[in-house]
Amino acid sequence: MPFWINILAAVIAFAAASLSGLYLIPLLKKIHFGQTIYEKGPAWHKSKNGTPIMGGFMFIFGTILACAVCYIIWRFTSPEIVLSPDSTGLLKLVAGLVFALLNCVIGFIDDYIKAIKKQNLGLKAKQKMAMQLVVTSAFLAVLWLLGDKSTEIIFPFVGAVNFGIFYYPIMVLYLIFLTNAVNLTDGVDGLCGTVTAVFAICWLAIYSSMGMHEYSIFAAALAGGCMGFLVWNLNPAKVFMGDTGSMFLGGCVCAMGFITHQHLLLALMAIVYICEALSVVLQVISFKTTGKRIFKMSPIHHHFEMCGFSEYKIVITFSAVGLICGILGNVLYNIYLK
């Protein structure tokens, strides 16, 4: 596939996401869908109270639009593709997007409750987990129907290990954990959008190498959509993505990494999200067992805030870590896993 199609996907998604902010932000203000800041959060975050949420619709719209347009262009500008009866790649792309959208619905319900009740707490943990169990299980079932029936996990320098029947419950928990990890990364202006754009670009390189053209379009569109959103979300943010956006991004991250069946490669390239989630887990365990906190505040980006890091510095540092791990992931794939 010509690489210009990926560039076009990124440009369309960027334009759609950034321009939609001109209409979405005033609408969100008009209906009073604003963020209620957590009382125990950093004191300087109080100034963000009332900032519109659900801005994630910008990159959701941009990503889906770009995927649809560029897939059609690719199909009808490549004669060998038009004549091909194999639609597995398209079906896997649709499965990934639907999985992300269903997670988006969960996030939207969470945001809607917060906006209506004017509080920081939305869905209860059990409600959210039950929804995610259904959505994630359905995603794995669809991939199984599309031919991904392997229950092996590839360990670098060790080889494939077959987990048999235990593979699916492990993967359900893995994907739910990672989806929520992306959600937790959304706590500093521009952080989740920037880290995800870097993540998507790194996976774009792998998809291009693998010949997974449908997902290379997806990755390029997601990167462009996130960058278009950052026009409005960099500090000081004029809008937040909300759980609507961060849960969609969580679904995208899981789908993009999982579709290659490279589970540990996904973990390496998603290291920033995983560290965010683990910081919360470790903080809770430490406080409940010893009464002491490991971090000044969790997730870990708030710890860095408490240590004096500016929001810009946190975004740059975390994105740099994500980029380094993304490059390492590409090297590992091309040298050992390819």
CA distances from 274 to 97, 149, 195, 279, 331 (A): 22, 26, 12, 8, 20
Compute the distance between CA of residue 175 and CA of residue 169 in angstroms, rounded to an integer: 10
Q: Which residues of 204-233 are buried (b: 16+ CB within 10 A; e: fewer)?
A: bbbbbebebbbbbbbbbbbbbbbbbbbebb
Residue type, 129: M
CB 251 within 8 A of CB 179: yes
Dist. CA 174–CA 267, nearest whole Å: 10
Residue 36's pLDDT is what?
Answer: 63
Task: Report the chain (338 residues): mean pLDDT per 10 consecutive residues.
Answer: 92 98 93 66 61 93 97 83 67 96 96 78 87 97 93 84 95 97 94 98 95 95 98 92 96 94 94 97 94 92 92 96 97 82
**Can you say whether the dihedral through the CA atoms of 306, 307, 312, 317 is positive or negative?**
negative
> Domain map of the chain by residue range?
3-337
Note the helical H segments in 146-241: 167-185, 191-210, 213-233
